Amino acid sequence: MTSRADRWLDPWLTLVAARAAGQPILELGCGAGRDTEVLTGAGHLVVALDLSPSQVDAARSRAPSAQLYCQDVRDPFPTCAAQALVVVASLSLHYFCWCETVALVERIRELLLPTGLLLCRLNSTNDVHHGAVGHPEIERDYYLVDGQPKRFFDRAAVEELFADGWHALSLREQTVQRYARPKVLWEIVAESVA
């Protein structure tokens, strides 16, 4: 496993399998299907969403057994994901104003039964190579980066986002080699609670 592969899900696959219990995994913002491929390769049924038709096509090539939808993550989730006990959202929940971000995380929690699992990664305010500095501010820690709105999170914002109805199993800031330049992000693994 190379660091460039960014196989961040590998340490969590045993827990994912236990929590998914044979139900589909919902992946929000699947991009070109890196994580979709890992999850389907581990034997999971994956229902994956992305806004970009070209990214959905790329994900379909990488993970042909996945059910892929071209849609905004803020739209209603596909009905085939209604029984999902695990949600994966890697670098896909940071494009929205604070109130929309909170509402989306609440929708995810409502989908998951108690002890349902969310694995997500969010931009860090320390991610200086990918937009955390030097761009027009829309609202606090939310910038227009090359025409695309992007939110960046410090520890307090992450903790606030997951304060109600969540129990964090892991919350850590880290630097990964996903792109040409280092990317600083928050990795959160949390279970929903009643």
pTM (two decimals): 0.94
Q: What is the mean pLDDT of residues 131-157?
A: 95
Structural domains of the chain sorted by starting position, each given as residue range(s) with its CATH number in brackets: 3-123+152-192 (3.40.50.150)
**What is the per-residue pLDDT for 194?**
75
Tell me the mean pLDDT in the region 158-167.
Answer: 96
Pairwise CA distance, residues 110 & 113, whole Å: 7
User: pLDDT tens-digit profile of 119-143?
Assistant: 999 999 999 999 889 999 999 999 9
Inter-helix orientation angle 53-62/34-41, to 10°: 30
Q: Is the pLDDT of residue 108 over 80?
A: yes
pLDDT exceeds cutoff 90 at 3: no
